[in-house]
């Protein structure tokens, strides 16, 4: 049958099983929105308050559901407003398709109104991208975009379509989506055998889990593997939920704000088994001294990540779930009681601490965990509150902690929470933000109200840019250059003005009732939790320092005395 380019776009989205699109219309993409109008009973479109919110919502939807998230924007500034969200998805390997429209082919390259080479702009931050100038190539391009986004190491793909292509007609024949198989072509038997040999000879193994284990849905295989190896387990920020945070083998996060037990455990181990992690600088610290006493095994789907940041002794390239399945059939049960006792001793000796006399960020996070029973989806912005959310909430399952890890995008979490709640409506979704981050994209509360998406926005409000202030306190002689936000902004009134419910919390005993009320209302709620401006995230490793030099508030006090 013959369809216009715009109709082909919609039919291809339906082919791919897309049920939700986040976006913002404009002149060049109007034809697509007109076609979407005719299919609004099949594809739910959410009009965000800003295109960046649309990209973050598509990202959050993808992370919460495992499906490909879809966002749309018009040409020029509409397309460039997606860039931060696309880059966020790229850094964290999130499957997303961004559809933009551009000026007609004869107008390209003429500095036409709202013309931008968005394919050129996004080339470094997409897994692949296209500009479609021929309507006959449109359907196959969209199909391939979805296949690329979800296959291997996932990532965002951009499809830019000229306006005349959206109006022109071509033959369209429905097709089934491409089969997406787990990546196994690089899994070599000799690599598996070498890894198992290293495990068999290890006396002090340590397992480090990254975001690849979440993306691969390898939680079951990972737990079996950890129990067979009988090793302590740490995770990265992106790896939260891949390994049950309540397990006796779990030692907490690794890296700059990781636990002392994890950082010192990795320093003292003789074998580090790294699963689905790219050895980010925030994890590694000083690469020359990282895991200095250990041989290192790296399991990752992306060959480009092997020996990129840390040179390893053994690598297995392939989908994490598939690799662990094969290793679990070959590996014997080990006993490392002495080593585990040593690491557990560090867990008990160096627990995460905070001031229990006043309302603090960690207390708020612990109350969120208690009230939700640990069954919520937690999204975050970036900063102190993000680290507290990683440290003090026990994540039991993958896809329940959604945060910007690689790019560190302030303003990410609120849009992501909208996408997560739309994708998983049965789950309680709570976005934890600092007041600085919340200001960046707080207009998306209006989006939540418009569609009555009952997310809960918790603002850890210290009236400063908390993490930057922490660095200024510790490393910049307390010179607080442009980090104080002590002004007249009232988040409760702002929430009410946008059609949401606003609740202010200033005391510890007010936190649980506020959360319980928010969960009962079935409406968007903003909870403004006012804390002290000098609360800090500990433990901490200075940037570029060895992770064994991790320090906490007690160490700092001793040093100052």
Can you give the residue ranges of every domain in the chain? 2-171, 189-349, 361-537
Of 51, 115, 221, 381, catalytic: 51
CATH architecture of 361-537: 3-Layer(aba) Sandwich (3.40)
Backbone angles phi, psi at 215, to 5 degrees: -60, -35
Task: Answer yes or no: is pLDDT of 487 > 90.
Answer: no
Query: Looking at the domain 2-171, which fold is it?
Result: Rossmann fold (3.40.50)
Per-residue pLDDT at 558: 82
Of 14, 15, 107, 114, catalytic: 114
Q: Is the pTM of this model over 0.95?
A: yes
- Active site includes 401? no
- Active site includes 113? yes
- Active site includes 16? no
Structure tokens at 321: 């779930």
Per-residue pLDDT at 492: 98
One fold for 189-349 and 361-537: yes
pLDDT digits over 41-51, tens only? 999 999 999 99
Mean pLDDT of the chain: 97
pLDDT digits over 354-377, tens only? 999 999 999 999 999 999 999 999
* Interior/surface letters 308-318, b for 16+ CB within 10 angstroms, e for the rest: ebbebebbbbb
Using an 8 Å Cβ cutoff, are 364 and 511 in contact? yes
Residues 213, 217, 223, 228, Cα dihedral to 10°: -80
Strands 525-530 and 456-461: parallel
Per-residue pLDDT at 69: 98
Class of domain 189-349: alpha beta
Task: Answer yes or no: is pLDDT of 78 > 80.
Answer: yes
Task: Answer yes or no: is pLDDT of 561 > 80.
Answer: no
Q: pLDDT class for 258, splitting at 50, 70, 90? A: very high
State how far the Cα of 85 lies from the Cα of 154, in Å rounded to an integer: 15
CA–CA distance from 279 to each of 88, 144, 288, 391, 538 (Å)?
18, 30, 13, 19, 21
Q: Up-side HSE of residue 41: CA atoms within 13 Å toward CB?
A: 1
First to last CA, the chain: 80
State how far the Cα of 345 lies from the Cα of 348, in Å rounded to an integer: 5
CA–CA distance from 293 to each of 238, 271, 297, 532 (Å)?
25, 8, 13, 40
pLDDT digits over 143-153, tens only? 999 999 999 99
Of 67, 127, 163, 536, catalytic: 163
Of 38, 42, 44, 113, catalytic: 113
- Active site includes 221? no
- Active site includes 163? yes
């Amino acid at each position: 049958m013959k369809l216009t380019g715009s109709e082909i776009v919609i039919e291809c989205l339906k082919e791919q099983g897309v049920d939700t699109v986040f976006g913002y219309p404009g002149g060049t993409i109007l034809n697509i929105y007109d076609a979407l109008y005719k299919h609004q009973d099949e594809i739910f479109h959410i009009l965000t308050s800003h295109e960046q919110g649309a990209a973050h919502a598509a990202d959050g939807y993808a992370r919460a559901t495992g499906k490909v998230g879809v966002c749309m924007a018009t040409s020029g500034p509409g397309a460039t407003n997606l860039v931060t969200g696309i880059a966020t998805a790229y850094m964290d390997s999130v499957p997303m398709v961004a559809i933009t429209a551009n000026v007609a082919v004869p107008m390209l390259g003429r500095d036409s109104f709202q013309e931008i080479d968005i394919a050129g702009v996004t080339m470094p931050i997409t897994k692949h991208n296209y500009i479609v100038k021929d309507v006959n190539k449109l359907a196959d391009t969209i199909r391939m975009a979805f296949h690329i986004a979800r296959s291997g190491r996932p990532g965002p793909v951009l499809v830019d379509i000229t306006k005349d292509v959206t109006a022109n007609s071509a033959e369209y024949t429905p097709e089934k989506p491409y089969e997406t198989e787990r990546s196994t072509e690089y899994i070599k038997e000799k690599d598996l055998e070498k890894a198992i040999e290293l495990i068999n000879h290890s006396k002090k193994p340590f397992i480090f889990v990254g975001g690849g284990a979440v993306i691969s849905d390898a939680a079951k295989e990972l737990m079996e593997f950890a129990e067979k190896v009988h090793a302590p387990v740490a995770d990265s920020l992106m790896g939260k939920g891949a390994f049950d945070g309540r397990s006796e083998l779990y030692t907490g996060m690794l890296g700059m704000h990781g636990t002392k037990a994890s950082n010192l455990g990795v320093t003292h181990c003789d074998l580090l088994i790294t699963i689905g992690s790219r050895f980010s600088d925030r994890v590694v610290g000083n690469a020359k001294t990282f895991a200095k006493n250990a041989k290192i095994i790296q399991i990752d789907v992306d060959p480009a990540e092997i020996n990129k940041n840390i040179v390893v002794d053994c690598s297995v390239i392939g989908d994490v779930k598939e690799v662990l399945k094969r290793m679990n059939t070959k590996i014997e049960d080990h006993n490392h009681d002495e080593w585990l006792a040593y690491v557990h001793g560090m867990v008990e000796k160096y627990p995460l601490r905070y001031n229990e006399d006043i309302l603090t960020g960690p207390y708020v996070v612990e109350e969120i965990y208690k009230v939700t029973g640990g069954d919520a989806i937690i999204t975050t912005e970036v900063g102190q509150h993000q680290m507290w959310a990683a440290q003090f909430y026990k994540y039991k399952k993958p896809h329940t902690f959604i945060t910007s890890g690689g790019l560190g995008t302030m303003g990410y979490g609120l849009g992501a929470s909208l996408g997560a709640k739309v994708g998983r409506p049965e789950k309680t979704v709570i976005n934890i933000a600092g007041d600085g981050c919340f200001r960046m994209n707080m207009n998306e509360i209006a989006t939540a109200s418009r569609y009555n998406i009952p997310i809960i926005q918790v603002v850890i409000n210290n009236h400063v840019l908390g993490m930057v202030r922490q660095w200024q306190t510790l490393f910049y002689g307390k010179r607080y250059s442009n980090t104080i936000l002590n002004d007249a902004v009232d988040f409760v009134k702002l929430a009410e003005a946008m059609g949401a419910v606003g609740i202010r919390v200033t005391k510890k005993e007010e936190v649980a009732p506020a959360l319980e009320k928010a969960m009962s209302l079935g409406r968007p709620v903003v909870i403004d939790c006012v804390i002290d401006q000098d609360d800090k995230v500990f433990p901490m490793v200075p940037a570029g320092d060895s992770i064994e030099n991790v320090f906490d508030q007690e160490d700092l006090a001793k040093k100052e005395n």
